[in-house]
Amino acid sequence: MSTATARKKQSGRVVRPLKIRKNDTVEVIAGKDRGKRGRVVQTIPRENRVVVEGINLVTRHQKARPTTSRATPQTQTGRVVKPAPLHVSKVMLVCPRCNQRTRIAISFTTDGKRVRTCKKCKEYIDSV
Ligand SMILES: [Zn+2]
């Protein structure tokens, strides 16, 4: 992430960087996967959504049909199980230090680096 400030997209909507980042461990607090933990494999800041390994799995049924468009030939057929994006408000970050799900504070190190801090144990979540 290059900048911490909010950026404006062409639509005029302000897109803020998510507090949850790729490879974070999160716990699901709402929905059918409540209580489960998983690793974040993708973040979608524009939609405030994240994709978590093994969470919110959906089965897509893909038919083997003759390729109508030459650009995207279908290689996978049958039932494909994959995680679907879910809203960031449905997950909480799991602190790597105290192993609890926690809210995040932003603080600054003595040399001015911006780091995420656990609200529970007050330890830095990001490596300094
Ligand atoms: Zn903590």
Q: Return the residue matching tokens 């190190």.
A: 109
CA of 87 to the centre of ligand 1 (A): 22
Arithmetic mean of pLDDT, 24-41:
97
This prediction has a pTM of 0.77
The first and second tokens of residue 100, run together, are 């609890």
- In CATH, which of 3.40.50.720, 3.40.50.300, 2.30.30.30, 3.40.50.150 is domain 14-63+77-94? 2.30.30.30
pLDDT surpasses 80 at 31:
yes
Per-residue pLDDT, 73: 60
Tokens for 72, please give them.
């995207």
- The mean pLDDT value for 61-77 works out to 67
Q: What is the pLDDT of residue 44?
A: 97
Q: What average pLDDT does the structure give for the chain?
A: 87
Distance 78 CA to ligand 1 centre (A): 43
Residues with CB under 5 A from ligand 1 (ion): 95, 97-98, 118, 120-121
Domain edges within the chain: 14-63+77-94, 99-128
Cα separation, 90 vs 55, whole angstroms: 11
- Centroid of ligand 1 to alpha carbon of 13 (angstroms): 32
119 Cα–ligand 1 center, Å:
7
Distance CA 104, CA 117 (A): 6
Cα angle, residue 124 at apex, residues 123 and 125 outer, rounded to 5°: 110
CA–CA dist 91, 108 (Å, integer): 24
